[in-house]
Amino acid sequence: MRALIVDSPGLSRIAEREIPSPGSGQTLVRVIACGLCGTDYKIFSGKTHAEYPIIPGHEITGIVEESEEIEKGQMVVIDPNRPCGRCRFCKSGRPHFCEHLQATGVTESGGFSEYVLVWNTQVYPVKNVPPERAVFAEPLSCILNGLRRIKGEFFERVLILGAGSIGMIFGLMLKRILPGAEIVLWDVDETRAEYVSKNFVLKVEPPKGSYDLTVECSGSVEGFKTCFDSSAFGGVLLQFGVVDKDKKVGVSPYDVYRKELRIQGTYLNPFTMGEAVRIIESGELLFEKLVTDRLDLEGVRDYLQNNRKALVKAVFWNH
C-alpha cells in the first residue's frame, strides 16, 4: 500500500508499505477519505506532540477490509483516540487525559494511506451517508466535547474566530442550540471570509463590541487575543484551536477578575463519537458542502509541506 510517511519534522516521503494484518481485536480498514486538520500541519512541522516516523491523518472514513468482529464491506468512521483504561484519569471518566493515550495518526499509523489498522473499540459503523460527510465525524465529536463544556448556558452574542470547517460547524451547531442568538464568524483570510459568507447561511463580519461567548478556532495567539479582548462582562472564551505549544500570550488578570471571564479549554472527544455519528446520519447538516479541496497523497504532502491551506476543508481522497 502507498502511504505518506513523516520521518521527522519537515522530512516526508510517499512510500510503499506492507498492508498490515489485523490481530485479535483489530480491524483493517481501507481508507476512502481522511480529512486534513490543523494538527496534521503541526505534526508535519514538529509543533505538537507526535511519535516519528508517523503516517499522519486521524479523520478517517473507510470500508472494513478484514475483521473478526465487524462485517466486511461496512462503512465506518474511526475514533483515533485509544486510552489505556487503567490510569487514574481513565478510571475517573476522563480518558482524554489518559497518561498512556495512543492515537491513530499521532502515535500510531494513520489515514494518509491506502489502509489503516485500528482496534475494534475505535470503530463506529455509519449507515447511508456519503463518505465526504462521514469524514466530519471525528472533528464533529471534538466540537461536541466543546459544546458540552458550555452546556445549559445561554449566550446572546457569539463570536467564532476562524472560518474554516471547525468554525463553520461550531456556527451551525450553536445556531441550533442558541435560537435567537447573534452568531458571527470572522477570519483574517478575506478570501475565505468572503467564500463562507457567500455560500453558507452564517454571518461573517469583523468583531465589533463585546461577546458573551467567543470560540477560538484559528489556533493562533492573535485569535486568542482577539477573543479575550472581545469578551463581554461574564464572558466565556472557549479555546478549541491548537496554538503552537511554545507560544505565550499576555492577559490582564484584572480583566479576568473584573469581568468574571472564564477561559475554558476543550480537548479531544471523550464519549462523543456516538453522538457525532447520529448527527451525521440524521442528514440535518450537510457537512459535505464544506469539502472544497480533494487531494491524492502527493497533494496531501504538498499541502502539509508548503503550509497550503484549503479554502474551507481539504480531504485525502483515496480512489
Taking contact as CB under 5 A, which single stretch among the options 7-15, 47-55, 94-102, 160-168 is the one that binds Zn ion?
Answer: 94-102
Closest distance of CB 16 from Zn ion, Å: 26
DSSP string, 237-250: EEE-S---TT----
Closest distance of CB 83 from Zn ion, Å: 5
Which amino acid is located at 63 in the chain?
Answer: I
Closest CA to 241 of 182, 187, 300: 187
Please tell me whether residue 87 binds Zn ion under the rule CB under 5 A: yes
CB atoms within 10 A of CB 71: 9
Closest distance of CB 255 from Zn ion, Å: 31
Please tell me whether residue 312 binds Zn ion under the rule CB under 5 A: no
Q: Which of 39, 107, 165, 269 binds Zn ion (CB under 5 A)?
A: 39
Q: Which of 36, 98, 184, 314 binds Zn ion (CB under 5 A)?
A: 98
Task: Quote the CA–CA distance of 125 and 148 in Å, as a whole number.
Answer: 23
Closest distance of CB 143 from Zn ion, Å: 11
Taking contact as CB under 5 A, which single stretch among the options 92-100, 107-115, 118-126, 161-169 is the one that binds Zn ion?
Answer: 92-100
Please tell me whether residue 90 binds Zn ion under the rule CB under 5 A: yes
Query: Which residues, 6+ apart, have CB-to-CB distance to 204 below 8 Å?
Result: 163, 184, 185, 186, 187, 193, 194, 196, 197
Cell numbers describing residue 66: 478484514
Q: Which is nearer to Zn ion, 105 or 235 (CB)?
A: 105
Please tell me whether residue 165 binds Zn ion under the rule CB under 5 A: no
Please tell me whether residue 50 binds Zn ion under the rule CB under 5 A: no
Q: Which is nearer to Zn ion, 32 or 98 (CB)?
A: 98
- Packing angle between helix 137-149 and helix 165-177, nearest 10 degrees? 50
27: part of which helix (H) or strand (E)?
A: strand 26-35
Q: Which is nearer to Zn ion, 87 or 193 (CB)?
A: 87
Bridge-partner residues for 100, per DSSP? none
Task: Quote the CA–CA distance of 1 and 247 in Å, as a whole number.
Answer: 38
Q: Which is nearer to Zn ion, 22 or 95 (CB)?
A: 95
Q: Which of 80, 83, 105, 241 binds Zn ion (CB under 5 A)?
A: 83
Query: Which residues, 6+ apart, have CB-to-CB distance to 124 below 8 Å?
Result: 76, 77, 78, 79, 137, 273, 274, 277
Taking contact as CB under 5 A, which single stretch among the options 18-26, 29-37, 108-116, 171-179 is the one that binds Zn ion?
Answer: 29-37
Cell numbers describing residue 159: 463570536
Closest distance of CB 38 from Zn ion, Å: 7
Q: Which is nearer to Zn ion, 5 or 98 (CB)?
A: 98
Please tell me whether residue 84 binds Zn ion under the rule CB under 5 A: yes
Which amino acid is located at 153 in the chain?
Answer: E
Q: Which is nearer to Zn ion, 25 or 234 (CB)?
A: 25
Q: Which positions touch Zn ion (CB under 5 A)? A: 37, 39, 83-84, 87, 90, 98
